[in-house]
């Protein structure tokens, strides 16, 4: 018996059928999938999870489907790595890295797209689309190709070349929009009203967002069905940040987890920090900004879930911080050089914010901290270009000794 | 003078299905919206609250979010296009 019930407005709680709808007709509030987990027995749920596939469909009881759909390219079950050298370098007790770059298109967006496309197909759509800062573009193009659906992917024209190439290869209709992400998003909002397409992060956004819960489920399962004390998560729209918490809360509600919600620390780039600024100023809504940062995957100036991200940061005893582009580049190197995980700029933001919290003394000695790494460093190579030296030599021992040998001894 | 207003699908039930309309004699975005409220019953309650826009409603003039301009006081000129959209999308 599936637990999924309806779509419900987060503001006025009006209910709607489970269809392609994302906005409340009454108050324009966002719709979210509502469940009734009262029939779910925790031990049985745990057994189903542990006997499930090594994809996010192992959490099908907590996703918006009557029965687990079949998907050609499923995401999830990425490594949770104990990062002792990173912890030591920051003077922290226990740090884990959730490496969600280990997904089919190398970012956490495979999770949301897996769920969104399964729902789009169930609802009968033949074309899928998205507004993207890059990672979502990769994922929509790939999952649509695997499912045999036509796709349209809208991106800002200044996107990193790696993300353009890793999208176009899948045979999507790639649309490069002269404007920033918020312009792309507005355009897709208008198009969603005119085309009979499933825009994964517009008209099927309530389902799409459910995919992010699985990141929380996995962290808890991989820690042995325990909650960490703190999580550090990048914030763009705020959807991932709030849905990881929702995942923890659902499992606590059904009895799969016990204890307090972890402190939620959001991470933004200073050049696009509407949520961090509102947090600092004590506001409960975000003032939009024009992004200017190397962390393009987080460059959303008008974050849709900003108010909910602020509310979560405050009630969990966490916060939202921002870091400079130089700190982001240093964060990428710090993570790479202490864990062997090469992350894109968003992961640099997250790592740099962890460092900032550690330096500020916000993290207690005994805390178990999880750092959420959402994308692969190969997507944003420019961020590390010129950050190290290469020794160029002749193919002779003497040339090696003269050049590298001396450099090593110096 | 005349300003074109684009109506999102979520509001077309109160505009009798109209996806686009025009407002004459309005100098600001606020006056454009007042013109629409006079014409379409039930529109005000959907998108406004206590004299301001609800927090999940975005309004654009010529593609620019009015929060980067002067909000409801943003001036409009003949031929401008005003777009109303739900804020909750993307990411």
Q: Do B89 and A201 touch (CB under 8 A)?
A: yes
Which residues of chain A neighbour B88 with C-beta distances below 8 Å? 22-23, 28-30, 205, 304-305
Closest partner CB to A185 (pick from B6, B9, B89): B89
Which residues of chain A neighbour B65 with C-beta distances below 8 Å? 182, 186, 288, 302
Q: Are A106 and A138 in contact (CB under 8 A)?
A: yes
Q: Which residues contact A253 (CB under 8 A, 6 or more apart)?
A: A37
Nearest-angstrom CA–CA distance, A327 and A226: 31
Interface predicted TM-score (ipTM) over 0.90: yes
One pLDDT digit (tens) per residue for chain A, 410 residues: 589 999 999 999 999 999 999 999 989 999 999 999 999 999 999 999 999 999 999 999 999 999 889 888 989 999 999 999 999 999 999 999 999 999 999 999 999 999 999 999 999 999 999 999 999 999 999 999 999 999 999 999 999 999 999 999 999 999 999 999 999 999 999 999 999 999 999 999 999 999 999 999 999 999 999 999 999 999 999 999 999 999 999 999 999 999 999 999 999 999 999 999 999 999 999 999 999 999 999 999 999 999 999 999 999 999 999 999 999 999 999 999 999 999 999 999 999 999 999 999 999 999 999 999 999 999 999 999 999 999 999 999 999 999 998 655 54
Q: Do B89 and A22 touch (CB under 8 A)?
A: yes
Nearest-angstrom CA–CA distance, B48 and B71: 13
Name the pTM for this structure: 0.96
pLDDT-based confidence at residue B36 (cuts at 50, 70, 90): very high
Give the residue among A133, A335, A363, A113 at the shortest CA–CA distance from A235: A133
Nearest CA to CA, how far is A195 from chain B (Å)?
A: 11
DSSP assignment of A262-331 equals: PEEEEEEETTB-HHHHHHHTT-SSPPP-----S-GGG--SS-TTHHHHHHHHHHTT-EEEEE-HHHHHHH
Comparing alpha-carbon positions, the chain A residue that sits nearest to B48 is: A27
DSSP assignment of A361-384 equals: T-S-TT-EEEEEE-BBGGG-GGGT
A-B contacts (CB, under 8 Å)? 92
pLDDT on residue A410: 47
Give the residue among A186, A192, A379 at the shortest CA–CA distance from A298: A379
């Amino acid at each position: 018996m599936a637990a999924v019930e309806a779509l419900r407005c987060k503001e006025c709680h009006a209910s709607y059928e489970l269809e392609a709808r994302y906005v409340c007709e009454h108050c324009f509030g966002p719709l979210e999938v509502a469940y009734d987990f009262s029939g779910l027995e925790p031990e049985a749920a745990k057994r189903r999870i542990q006997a499930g596939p090594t994809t996010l469909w192992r959490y099908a009881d907590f996703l918006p489907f009557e029965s687990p759909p079949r998907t050609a390219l499923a995401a999830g079950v990425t490594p949770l790595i104990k990062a002792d050298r990173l912890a030591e370098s920051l003077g922290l007790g226990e740090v884990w890295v959730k490496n969600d770059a280990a997904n089919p298109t190398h970012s956490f967006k495979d999770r949301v797209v897996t769920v969104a496309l399964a729902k789009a197909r169930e609802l009968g759509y033949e074309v899928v689309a998205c507004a993207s800062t890059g990672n979502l573009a990769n994922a929509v193009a790939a999952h649509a190709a695997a499912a045999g659906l036509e796709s349209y992917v809208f991106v800002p024209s200044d996107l990193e070349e790696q993300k353009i190439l890793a999208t176009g290869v899948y045979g999507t209709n790639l649309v490069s929009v002269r404007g920033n992400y918020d312009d792309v998003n507005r355009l897709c909002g208008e198009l969603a009203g005119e085309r009979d397409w499933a825009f994964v992060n517009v008209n099927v956004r309530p389902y799409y967002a459910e995919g992010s819960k699985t990141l929380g489920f996995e962290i808890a399962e991989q820690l042995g069905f325990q909650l960490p004390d703190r999580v550090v998560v990048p914030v763009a729209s705020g959807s991932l940040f709030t849905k990881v918490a929702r995942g923890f809360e659902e499992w606590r509600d059904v009895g799969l987890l016990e204890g307090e919600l972890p402190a939620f620390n959001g991470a933004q780039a200073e050049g696009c920090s509407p949520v961090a600024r509102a947090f600092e100023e004590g506001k409960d809504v975000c003032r939009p900004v024009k992004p200017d940062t190397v962390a393009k995957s987080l460059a959303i100036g008008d974050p849709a879930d900003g108010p909910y991200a602020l509310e979560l940061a405050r009630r969990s005893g966490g916060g939202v911080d921002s870091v400079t582009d130089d700190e982001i580049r240093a964060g990428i190197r710090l993570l790479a050089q202490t864990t062997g995980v090469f992350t894109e700029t968003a992961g640099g933001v997250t790592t740099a914010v962890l460092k900032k919290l550690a330096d500020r003394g916000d993290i207690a000695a005994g805390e178990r901290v999880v750092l959420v790494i959402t994308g692969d460093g190969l997507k944003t190579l420019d961020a590390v270009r010129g950050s190290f030296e290469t020794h160029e030599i002749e193919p002779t021992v003497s040339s090696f000794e003269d050049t590298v040998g001396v450099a090593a001894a110096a | 003078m005349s300003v074109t207003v684009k109506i999102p699908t979520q509001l077309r039930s109160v505009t009798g299905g109209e996806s686009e309309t025009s407002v004459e004699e309005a100098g600001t975005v606020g006056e454009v919206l007042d013109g629409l409220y006079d014409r379409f019953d039930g529109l005000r309650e959907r998108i406004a609250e206590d004299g301001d826009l609800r927090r999940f409603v975005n309004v654009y003039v010529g593609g620019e979010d009015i929060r980067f301009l002067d909000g409801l006081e943003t001036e409009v000129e003949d031929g401008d296009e005003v777009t109303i959209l739900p804020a909750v999308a993307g990411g």
